[in-house]
Amino acid sequence: MSSQRLPLLALLAAAIALPLVFRGEYFMHLMIMVLFYTVLASSLNIVTGYIGQLSLGHAAFFGIGCYAAAMLTLDAGWSVWTAMIIAGLAAAVAGFVIGYITLRLDGHYFVLITLAFAEVLRLVVINWEEVTRGPLGFPNIPRPSIVLGGEVMVDFSSKTHFYYVALVLVVITLWAKHRFVYSAMGRASVAIRENPRLAQSVGIDPFYYSMVAFVLGAFFAGLSGWFYAHYISYVGPDVYGFGFMVTMLIMIAVGGRGTIVGPVIGAAIITIVVEELRFAREIRLSLFGLLLMLSILFFPRGLVSVPDLLRRRGWWPGAGKTGTA
């Protein structure tokens, strides 16, 4: 665990200093997307990485966060910050309900039932125009602002403001995840992932711990939805779609599931690779698919395992021991 703490702190320091060094708006945009995806992928990692269940319904919680933010600020006129709390809570409540129903099933059945929930929700959002505005969605979602004593202190006209909000969300997410993973509860979760029957026999109730992980994951997915809605300023039904689901799965798998830094690495690598592949034009996505297959085949435990692999061959300093989180 301490092996993960040091690089994380170094990363945090670098992240805080980053806007002071680089000032390009496009670069800032990419870094914001990296941070946003870090929160989203980490939230899925709590479920898939630690309790080992492949949830394909996670985009639904992200979508609920997006729509809660859009509807509360545009239709109900609430403040952006209140909407943040509600977006997270709404997703968590949905996580509780869906988790309560689905976590009784495992393996394949869980994969499919979570997918079914997300699809039902997406189709309802498209068809129920009166409430959700249908396929066109919500444009002009307001930017947040920080008002102190009647004066606008921060108006979020600059990308740097969004960057630091995203960074705060990342820190909260990773901290909460860390607390969860290294609590008695988290250790129990890992036990469930590794051997559910044995875990049960020593008095761990897999359902209870899985529920906690699921609701926690949903909450942070909702928060990332809130951020997305206000940063992009537009949400449509595509936030419930398979595209986001696939993106976050790829990020945790490429980075390394079941680790804290994994999704961070995955979010950064995938965002940058997709962007750098622009030179390839039409074959961009074909190349991306190919790279993804190679990455899974050669690093099935993700890129976090690369130092271990190198170390074992003596290409990297340090003992040849492998450590897992």
Partner 1 sequence: MTKTMTGLATAVAAVAVLAGGALAQTDTIRIGVIKPITGPLAFDGNNSVNGAKLAVDEINAKGGVLGKKLELVVEDGQCKPADSVTAAEKLMVRDKVPVVMGAFCSGATLAVMPVAERNKVPLITGVSSSPKLTEAKQSWFFRNAESELMTAQAFAAILYEKMGLKNIYYLAVNDDWGRGTVGAFKETFEKIGAKTMSIEYVDRTANDFYTPLTKIRAANPDVVIVVAETQAGSIITKQARELGLKSKIFGVGAWATPTFMNLAGDAANGVFAGVVYASTATGDANKMFVDNFKKVFNTDPGKYSAGGYTTINVIAQAIARAGAAEPDKIREALTKTDVQAPNGRIKFDSHHQAYGWELVLVELKDKVPHIRATGVAKSPYD
Partner 2 sequence: MLDVALQFLVNGLVTGSFYALMALGLAMIFGLMEVVNFAHGEFFVMGGVVAYAFCNVLGVDFYLTIVIVVALMFAFGAATDYLLIRPLRGQHLLSTALVTIGLSIFLINTMLLTFGTSPQGLDAPFSRKPIIIGEIVITEGRLFAIVVGAVAIVATHILIQKTRLGRAMRATFQQKEAAALVGVNVERVYTLTFALGTAMAAIAGVLLGAVFVIHPSTAELATLKAFVVVILGGMTNLPGAVAGGLLLGVVESLWGGFVSTGYMDVIGFALVIFILLFRPYGLFAPRPGR
Among positions 208-267, residues that touch partner 1 (CB under 8 A) are 228, 232-236, 238, 243
**Which residue in 10, 136, 287, 293 binds partner 1 (CB under 8 A)?**
136
For partner 2, the binding residue among 300, 318, 320, 323 (CB under 8 A) is 300
Query: Which of 156, 244 has the CB closer to partner 2?
Result: 244
Does the protein bind partner 1 through residue 29 (CB under 8 A)?
yes
What is the Cα–Cα distance from 64 to 240, expressed in whole angstroms?
8
Buried b (16+ CB within 10 A) or exposed e, 238-266: ebbeeebbebbbbbbbbbbbbbbbbbbbb
One symbol per residue from 51 to 90: x for binding partner 2 (CB under 8 A), - otherwise; what is it? -x-x------------------------------------
Residues 9-48 that bind partner 2 (CB under 8 A): 48
Q: How far apart are CA 199 and CA 189, in angstroms?
A: 9
Stretch that binds partner 1, among 94-102, 110-118, 127-135, 170-178 (CB under 8 A): 127-135
Selected binder of partner 1 within 7, 107, 135, 300 (CB under 8 A): 135
Q: What values do phi and psi take at 138, rounded to 5? A: -115, 110
* Cβ closest to partner 2, residue 119 vs residue 308: 119
* C-alpha neighbours within 13 Å on the C-beta side of residue 198: 8
Residue 73 has which token pair?
């600020």
Q: Confirm or reject binding of residue 96 to partner 2 (CB under 8 A).
A: no
Of the candidate spans 33-41, 82-90, 116-124, 232-240, the one that interacts with partner 2 by CB under 8 A turns out to be 116-124
Closest Cα to residue 12, out of 219, 183, 164? Answer: 164
Spatial contact of 62 and 239, defined as CB atoms under 8 Å apart: yes
278 binds partner 1, rule: CB under 8 A: yes
Q: Which of 290, 250, 287 is nearest to 271 (CA)?
A: 250
Contact call for residues 100 and 211 (beta carbons, < 8 A) = yes
Q: How far apart are CA 324 and CA 308, in angstroms?
A: 10
Cβ contact 68:86 at 8 Å: yes
Whole-angstrom Cα distance, residue 98 to residue 107? 16
Q: Which helix (H) or strand (E) covers residue 146, if one does? A: strand 146-148
What's the min distance (Å) between Cβ of 57 and partner 2?
A: 11
Q: Which of 10, 13, 14, 124 binds partner 2 (CB under 8 A)?
A: 124
Q: Which is nearer to partner 2, 164 or 288 (CB)?
A: 288
The one among 13, 14, 97, 290 contacting partner 2 by CB under 8 A: 290
**Position 130 contacts partner 1 (CB under 8 A):** no
Footprint on this chain of partner 2 (rule: CB under 8 A): 48, 52, 54, 101, 105, 107-109, 111-113, 115-117, 119-120, 123-124, 126-127, 242, 246, 249-250, 253, 257, 282-286, 288-293, 296-297, 300
